[in-house]
Amino acid sequence: MASVDTATGGGRGRALLSTSTAVARFVGMVLATLLGLVAVTFVIGRVVPIDPVLAVVGDRASPSVYARVREEMGLHLPLWQQFFIYLGDVLKGDFGRSVLTTKPVVEDIARFFPATIELATLGTLIGTIFGVPLGVLAAVKRGSLIDQVVRVIGLVGYSAPIFWLGLLALLLFYAKLGWAAGPGRLDVVYEYQLKAVTNMVLVDSLLQGNMAVFRNAVSHIVLPAGILGYFSLAYISRMTRSFMLNELAQEYVTTARVKGLSERRVIWRHALRNAAVPLITVIALSYANLLEGSVLTETVFAWPGLGRYITNSLQNADMNAVLGGTLVIGAAFVALNLFSDLLYRLFDPRTRKR
């Protein structure tokens, strides 16, 4: 009996050690990734041919003023020392002050990033809701006209420049047909009717019961979100088709059909269920891509998101804002990648043994 208890205790000890090692490895990977991200943004700030001192003092400042401000910004120090100062500020959540808005960059990010999250989230929902069924349909009807149409839709979504699609959408649905509102997030008359809670107009208007603002916000977001949704749809439908073709060729699908299960149940309850495991990662990566790649869409539609904020800051040599925004988007991308990996391990037991 004692030997059994000893064996059981030893097994639990090994399991606990294995879990602790896996957690430590995961935490170490996260920290190393974030440290690398901070290092990359620091190097970007030093490599870009923009003088942050001139952005503050102007090009007519005297040499003495220029030298004093340069020293105050710590740019006279060795690069390794500048990096550790920058790292310490980042760890404290201090990205400096924006030259363009004269506010702390953290406050600007808190104001602009929710607009990007709102746009990317809606775009991902559109891409998922339409992309998954289209991918399943293309796989089931492989080689048919339906399959070809779905593949062409995906090819156009991949190939066409997103800013060109945005301009066409504005020309057709706003200027010609008048079905949607124009650039911006709200009409001027509605801009000051909401109290900022989440800085997401759709969410705040619903929380405050202001349906007039909600309808106006929907009319503005439908075009940019639709463009991003189409881009996401192209990626998700293509990957769904690939995953479904792989699952439909498996033996368990043949067995299910031999047992007399309906084709609908075989496809949607069995094949798609197994394909959903890697599809989670695809959707998470698509969401991350929209968060970091919505710059052109925000520019075309004058959407006040983080991408447009970074673009305007770069044009005005506001490097604190550029680096702060880049770091936040990079951290969001890393977080979504890690989250998708955790979901993959959660839903696929085979990966837990690795």
Specify the DSSP element, H or E, that contains 137: helix 105-140
| 97: in domain | no
C-alpha distances (whole Å) from 234 to each of 62, 156, 229, 266 are 54, 8, 9, 25
User: Residue 13's domain spans which residues?
Assistant: 1-35
Comparing 19-23, 179-183, 196-200, 308-312, the range with the smallest average pLDDT is 19-23
* Count of beta carbons in the 10 Å neighbourhood of residue 74: 12
Closest residue by Cα to residue 298 from 115, 104, 169, 85: 115
Query: Tens of pLDDT along 205-228?
Result: 898 888 999 999 999 999 999 999
Query: Tens of pLDDT along 300-344?
Result: 898 888 888 888 888 877 888 888 888 888 888 888 888 877 777
Q: Say if residue 136 is in the same domain as residue 1.
A: no
Half-sphere exposure of 254 (CA within 13 A, CB side): 4
| 16: in domain | yes
Percent of the chain with pLDDT strictly greater than 90: 17
Tell me how far apart the alpha carbons of residues 140 and 253 are, in angstroms, rounded to a whole number.
12
Residues written for the chain: 354
Q: Say if residue 298 is in the same domain as residue 181.
A: yes
Comparing 160-169, 220-229, 288-297, the range with the smallest average pLDDT is 288-297
Q: Say if residue 125 is in the same domain as residue 270.
A: yes
Closest residue by Cα to residue 122 from 177, 207, 202: 202
| 99: in domain | no
Q: Say if residue 319 is in the same domain as residue 226.
A: yes
User: CATH number, domain at 278?
Assistant: 1.10.3720.10
Phi–psi pair at 144, nearest 5 degrees: -85, 180
| 129: in domain | yes
- pLDDT of 281 > 60? The answer is yes
Tell me how far apart the alpha carbons of residues 205 and 186 are, in angstroms, rounded to a whole number.
12
Q: What pLDDT, on a 0 to 100 scale, did the predictor assign at position 11?
A: 58
Q: Say if residue 160 is in the same domain as residue 197.
A: yes
Q: Say if residue 204 is in the same domain as residue 327.
A: yes
| 41: in domain | no
Give residue for tokens 């896996």: 22
* Count of beta carbons in the 10 Å neighbourhood of residue 128: 21
Amino acid, single-letter form, for residue 43: V
- pLDDT of 232 > 70? The answer is yes
The DSSP annotation for 29-50 comes to HHHHHHHHHHHHHHHHHHHSS-
Does the predicted TM-score (pTM) go above 0.85? no
Contact between 199 and 115 under an 8 Å Cβ cutoff? The reply is yes
| 188: in domain | yes
Q: Say if residue 169 is in the same domain as residue 293.
A: yes
Q: Say if residue 9 is in the same domain as residue 81.
A: no
Structural domains counted in the chain: 3
Q: Say if residue 147 is in the same domain as residue 74.
A: no
Q: Where are the beta strands (DSSP E) in the chain?
A: none
Q: What pLDDT, on a 0 to 100 scale, did the predictor assign at position 350?
A: 56
Q: Say if residue 272 is in the same domain as residue 340.
A: yes
Q: Say if residue 132 is in the same domain as residue 12.
A: no
Contact between 214 and 202 under an 8 Å Cβ cutoff? The reply is yes
* Residue 80 CB partners (closer than 8 Å, separation 6+): none
| 320: in domain | yes
Q: Is 88 helix (H, G, I), strand (E, B) or coil?
A: helix
* Count of beta carbons in the 10 Å neighbourhood of residue 288: 21
Q: What pLDDT, on a 0 to 100 scale, did the predictor assign at position 353?
A: 52
| 45: in domain | no
Comparing 104-113, 238-247, 250-259, 299-308, the range with the smallest average pLDDT is 250-259
Q: What pLDDT, on a 0 to 100 scale, did the predictor assign at position 237?
A: 92
80-105 average pLDDT score: 84
Contact between 191 and 212 under an 8 Å Cβ cutoff? The reply is no
Closest residue by Cα to residue 282 from 352, 343, 328: 343
Tell me how far apart the alpha carbons of residues 137 and 149 are, in angstroms, rounded to a whole number.
11
Beta bridge partners of 133: none
Q: Say if residue 154 is in the same domain as residue 70.
A: no
Backbone angle region of 28, left / alpha / beta, with phi > 0 → left and psi within -120 to 50 → alpha: alpha
